Amino acid sequence: MNLLSGVVAIIFAFHFNEVVCCGLQGYQWAFICIAASALFDFCDGASARLLHAYSSLGKELDSLSDLVSFGVAPAMLMLNAMLISTGGCWLSYAALFIPVMGALRLAKFNIDETQKTTFAGLPIPANAIFWIGYVNMIATDGIRMPALVSVVIIAVVSLMMVMNMRMFSLKFHNFKLRENLLRYLIIVATVVLVAVLGVTGLMWTIILYLLLSSGSLFRRSVA
């Protein structure tokens, strides 16, 4: 279901400004499909832990699905958003860099045994969340970003997926406040930012996540 939702999101991305159904345009339905992918991805892991049904096959299928849903789908959204907003500028195809780095990030994650409680680099679902917010800023908020600026942002965010910078995991292993303070802060910030800025607030949530991870890393290095 994760993979299927991601594929449907890609289809909707190519109907970007068309009203597809229920008064929503293609890019908005793509947002919904990517969100559905994230839900199915969460249920997949939760079900595996609940049933103790771990397997190498499941691990590989999970990564392949994530690449489509959180790498290719947001890249196609970004590609079409840039093509429309820039009048077809060839720099729009820089969006293809997103799934390339996403694939490398997932391959590294699968063979790295140290990424249990922390991540090395930006997780690919967080990458997708960032691009949903960024695309919404262009499509809904009407902010026209110069193509070159978008290319730089694409390069920076994509490369963050393969950086060795340690980032805290957003997964809860318990609900104790002291052990999950940063996670609770992210949840509260997401609610506030989306309430104030709409879907664009998701972009700022990921920026906050990067800043909090950087601060947490700095505190550990000083200690």
The residue with tokens 């947002």 is 31
Tens digits of residue pLDDT in 180-199: 788 889 999 999 999 999 99
Q: Where are the domains of the chain?
A: 2-166
Q: Indicate the burial class of 54 (C-beta count within 10 angstroms; 0-12, 13-18, 19 or more).
A: exposed
Specify the CATH architecture of the domain 2-166: Up-down Bundle (1.20)
Q: Supply the pLDDT for residue 222.
A: 38
Q: Calculate ∠ Cα 32-199-120, nearest 5°.
A: 85
Tens digits of residue pLDDT in 76-108: 999 999 999 998 999 999 999 999 999 999 998
SS3 content of the chain, % helix, strand, coil (to 5): 75, 5, 20
Tens digits of residue pLDDT in 137-171: 999 988 888 999 999 999 999 999 999 888 877 77
The H-assigned helical ranges of 14-146 are 26-51, 56-67, 73-85, 97-111, 124-139
The structure's pTM equals: 0.88
CB neighbourhood size of 56 (10 A) = 8
Q: Supply the pLDDT for residue 57.
A: 78
pLDDT at residue 179 greater than cutoff 60? yes
The residue with tokens 């026209």 is 144
Closest CA to 43 of 10, 98, 74, 1: 1
* Separation between Cα atoms, residue 124 and residue 162, nearest integer Å: 10
Tell me the backbone φ, ψ of residue 118, rounded to 5 degrees: -130, 160
* Beta pairing class for 118-120 and 166-168: antiparallel
Side chain identity at 74, as an amino acid letter?
Answer: P
* Separation between Cα atoms, residue 6 and residue 17, nearest integer Å: 19
pLDDT at residue 61 greater than cutoff 60? yes
Rg (CA), the chain: 17
- 99-124: b or e for each residue (b if 16 or more CB lie within 10 Å)? bebbbebbeebeeeeebeeebbbbbb
For the record, the structure tokens of 5 come out as: 């939702």
* Separation between Cα atoms, residue 78 and residue 136, nearest integer Å: 10
